[in-house]
Amino acid sequence: MSLLVVGSLALDTIETPFGKAERTLGGSATFVSVAASYFIQPVRLVGVVGGDFPKDDIEFLKDRGVDLEGLQIIEDGKTFHWHGKYHYDLNSRDTITTELNVFADFDPIIPEAFQRSTYLCLGNINPELQKKVLLQMAGPKLIVADTMNFWIEGKHDALLDVIKHINVLIINDSEARELSGEANLIKAARRIEEMGPKTLIIKKGEHGALLFHENEMFSAPAYPLESIFDPTGAGDSFAGGFIGYLAKTDDISYENMKRAVVYGSTIASFAVEKFSLEGIKDLSYFEIKDRFNEFKRFSSFDAGEL
Ligand code: AMP
């Protein structure tokens, strides 16, 4: 099996009530591929950075089994920069700046060896670029895509065009409401399924995630954490864990997707415990497995008798 991830690589400035990190490694493709690398290696990555992108970050990605053949480095350009500021409850954030920089002229070129990848994750980037990627692929078995309010508002038609062609859309609750025009999440899911994706995952932050597939629904809890430092990348880590597990097991049945949702939530729970990428830089198989098992313990119960 092979997994291709396309998305942003960023230098993020992050402010939370607990501290501030400046120009630290981030981006949708970064979080997705690092999260997925715990399930499948190599993870093929396509993206773009500027000459200011730290060499240490390149080495870190390589060490995590990320294949950077498709990474374009524009020596005289600047890396994508995002600045986000979280509110006290960490459930909501304001985007202070989004500087596309090298992403403004990015033309995603999928190396020939990557075009036959069986699993494709279209991380959160301009949907016009997501479409360009789709046009170069030779029929992946599963296409998962992520997006955010920035594109729902700014590139609405292009987004509607791309989601017609994908199998699984991953978005958060406010984005699902915005995209569908429905306040109720069940109704929103139905509307979005009509737009194309037969499977939809709605993330609800500290309240877990909902998986919709045809007429079925699965509700996964979030891991109850005592200390959350920085929610940045939680959604992308979720997506990486989800698609990484599906690619590893090469099983896209609904039952296996439920397990994949819990693996996605497991990796996301590590991501939010520390700043930026720190929480998922160096996990062990046992840490992941233990937390996955705890998810199972927290959410199962004996039906008893009435
Ligand atoms: P998440 O917290 O999962 O929504 O992802 C946060 C990551 O998304 C950060 O590391 C940002 O660099 C990246 N990001 C934020 N805005 C955008 C955007 N408009 N396009 C692509 N990536 C973005």
Q: In angstroms, what is the span from residue 303 Cα to ligand 1's centroid? A: 41
Q: In angstroms, what is the span from residue 207 Cα to ligand 1's centroid? A: 21
Contact 147/159 with Cβ under 8 angstroms? yes
pTM greater than 0.85: yes
Instruction: Supply the residue whose CA is at minimum distance from atom 1 of ligand 1.
Output: 233
Q: In angstroms, what is the span from residue 82 Cα to ligand 1's centroid? A: 7
Q: Residue 52 is encoded by which pair of tokens?
A: 């200011």
Give the tens place of pLDDT for each residue, 183-206: 999 999 999 999 999 999 999 988
Instruction: Supply the residue whose CA is at minimum distance from atom 13 of ligand 1.
Output: 27
Q: In the sheet that 10-16 helps form, which strands lie side by side, from edge to edge?
A: 19-26, 10-16, 80-86, 93-99
| pLDDT given for residue 229 in this prediction | 83
| pLDDT given for residue 71 in this prediction | 98
Instruction: Evaluate if residue 306 carries a pLDDT over 90.
Output: no
- Residue 49: strand pairing partners: 73
Helices (H) and strands (E) in the chain, counts: 10, 13
Instruction: Evaluate if residue 155 carries a pLDDT over 90.
Output: yes
| pLDDT given for residue 250 in this prediction | 98
Q: Residue 126 is encoded by which pair of tokens?
A: 């301009």
Give the tens place of pLDDT for each residue, 25-61: 999 999 999 999 999 999 999 999 999 999 999 999 9
What is the number of the ligand 1 atom nearest to the C-alpha of 234? 3
Beta-carbon count within 10 A of 32 CB: 34
Length of the chain: 306
Q: In angstroms, what is the span from residue 277 Cα to ligand 1's centroid? A: 13
- Residue 142: strand pairing partners: 119
b/e per residue 224-255 (b: at least 16 CB within 10 A): eeeebbbbbbbbbbbbbbbbbbbbbbeebeee
Rounded mean pLDDT, 251-280:
95
Q: Decide: helix, strand or coil at residue 277.
A: coil
Q: Where does 104-173 show beta strands of DSSP type E? A: 119-122, 142-146, 168-172
27 pocket-lining for ligand 1 (C-beta < 6 Å): yes
Contact 125/8 with Cβ under 8 angstroms? yes
Helix, strand, coil content of the chain in percent (nearest 5)? 40, 25, 35
List Cβ neighbours of 206 (8 Å cut-off, separation of 6 or more).
Answer: 91, 222, 228
172 pocket-lining for ligand 1 (C-beta < 6 Å): no
Give the tens place of pLDDT for each residue, 95-117: 999 999 999 999 999 999 999 99
What is the number of the ligand 1 atom nearest to the C-alpha of 30? 10
13 pocket-lining for ligand 1 (C-beta < 6 Å): no
Contact 32/240 with Cβ under 8 angstroms? yes
Q: d(Cα 109, Cα 125) in Å, to the nearest integer?
A: 15
Closest CA to 267 of 244, 229, 241: 241
235 pocket-lining for ligand 1 (C-beta < 6 Å): yes
Q: In angstroms, what is the span from residue 124 Cα to ligand 1's centroid? A: 7
Q: In angstroms, what is the span from residue 250 Cα to ligand 1's centroid? A: 28
Instruction: Evaluate if residue 19 carries a pLDDT over 90.
Output: no
| pLDDT given for residue 31 in this prediction | 98
